[in-house]
């Protein structure tokens, strides 16, 4: 009997130790009232060779300005939706990025811009596609979410509604930049050359000229609510009416307080085929992958294997920042209430 008691005591001690061990490995929770924001300014041919010192400084300065704008909202107790909107507005107003002022030209020589925004606390979301007179497309996406029962509005109908609600509308000349026009001419010239020589397969090699400078932001506020937003001009020389992943909830943009918020940039067709942003969230929620593993799985084992290229930023429910890309580089940065502030452009460190 005494021997049996000793065995039972040993077993209970073992179970208690195991429970203690498991508890010590539980995920670190977010600090009360902490907050953070992470942004990207597009992926693709973002290499040191393609950007001189002056250009690097210009991008770094604008990325920091965007981070500071979003951070200021969060620091004052503002909500994550307002924070990402503020950050994206800065990038949309800059000709450096392929969104808003710097949007690329389609095959007809016009801009067609897409954007989306999502509230991770209740899964409310809004998006616009194919608009070309709204100064800040992310504001249009927010208006769809807040003021209509719809999720996605496109083209002329979306612009009529934006005008009725008083969003700032601009003439198409506002979006003119010599840089983007030259990109269009270069791509169209190469495309025609390939067609003339019937070398259609080589067209894939032009992808570096079809820059994906999409911008995006994800934030978590002091209350722990996550929001994500994405805005883009699409791909240079895209077909008239083409819509990419940026306005598609779950593909180029997603937020859920249970897991994380994500904004993507890259060859949108592949992010749509894999429902990339939602797939990352699902891998975290249902498969138990950590964010780093989930991003790598989707970008390299799903999108990459299909031939797609790009990157994603992620902010999880604990306020931790992650990013990954299978392209040469990605303009990116984050700022957290614990004092961390990072801006990067090229290969992963």
**Contact between residue 142 and residue 217 where contact means Cβ atoms under 8 Å apart:** no
| 73 C-beta neighbours (distance < 10 Å), count | 22
| Contact yes or no for 101/175 (Cβ under 8 A) | yes
Give kind and range of the element (H or E) at residue 119.
Answer: strand 113-119
Show the tokens assigned to 98. 């392929």
DSSP tag of 31: P
Exposure string of 80-114, with b = 16+ CB inside 10 Å and e = fewer, is bbbbbbbbbbbbbbbbbbbbbbbbbbbbeeebbbb
Residue-level length of the chain: 349
Tokens describing residue 235: 């791909």
Burial of residue 30, with CB atoms counted within 10 A of its CB: 0-12 exposed, 13-18 middle, 19 or more buried: middle
214 in active site: yes
Report how far residue 156's alpha carbon sits from residue 118's, in angstroms, rounded to the nearest whole number. 23
Distances, alpha carbon 285 to alpha carbons 241, 289, 291, in Å: 35, 8, 10
Q: Which of 214, 230, 259, 274 is catalytic?
A: 214
Closest alpha carbon to 246 in 129, 98, 331: 129
- The count of C-alpha atoms lying within 13 angstroms of the C-alpha of 58, restricted to the half-sphere facing its C-beta, is 9
Would you please indicate which residues are annotated as catalytic (active-site) residues?
214
């Amino acid at each position: 009997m005494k021997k049996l008691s000793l065995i039972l005591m040993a077993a209970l001690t073992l179970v208690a130790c195991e429970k203690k061990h498991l508890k010590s490995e539980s995920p670190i929770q977010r600090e009360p009232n902490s907050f953070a924001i992470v942004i990207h300014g597009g992926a693709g041919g973002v290499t040191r060779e393609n950007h001189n010192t002056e250009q690097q400084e210009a991008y770094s300065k604008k990325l920091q300005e965007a981070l500071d704008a979003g951070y200021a909202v969060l620091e004052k107790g503002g909500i994550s939706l307002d924070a990402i909107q503020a950050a994206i507005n800065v990038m949309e107003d800059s000709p450096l990025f392929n969104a808003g002022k710097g949007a690329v030209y389609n095959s007809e020589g016009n801009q067609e811009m897409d954007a989306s925004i999502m509230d991770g606390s209740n899964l409310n979301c809004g998006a616009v596609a194919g608009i070309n007179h709204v100064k800040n497309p992310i504001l249009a996406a927010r208006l769809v979410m807040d003021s209509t029962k719809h999720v996605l509005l496109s083209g002329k109908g979306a612009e009529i509604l934006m005008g009725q609600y008083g969003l700032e509308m601009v003439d198409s000349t506002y979006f003119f930049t010599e840089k983007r026009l030259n990109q269009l001419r270069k791509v169209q010239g190469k495309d025609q050359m390939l067609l003339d020589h019937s070398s259609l397969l080589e067209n894939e090699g032009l992808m570096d000229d079809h820059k994906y400078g999409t911008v995006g932001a994800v934030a978590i506020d002091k209350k722990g609510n996550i929001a994500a937003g994405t805005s883009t001009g699409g791909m240079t020389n895209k077909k008239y009416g083409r819509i990419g992943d940026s306005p598609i909830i779950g593909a180029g943009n997603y937020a859920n307080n249970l897991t994380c918020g994500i904004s993507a940039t890259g060859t949108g067709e592949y992010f749509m085929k894999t429902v990339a942003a939602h797939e990352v969230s699902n891998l975290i929620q249902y498969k138990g992958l950590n964010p780093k593993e989930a991003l790598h799985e989707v970008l390299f084992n799903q999108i990459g294997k299909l031939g797609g290229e790009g990157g994603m930023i992620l902010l999880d429910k604990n306020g931790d920042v992650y990013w990954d890309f299978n392209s040469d580089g990605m303009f990116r940065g984050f700022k957290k209430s614990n004092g961390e502030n990072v801006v990067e452009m090229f290969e992963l460190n």
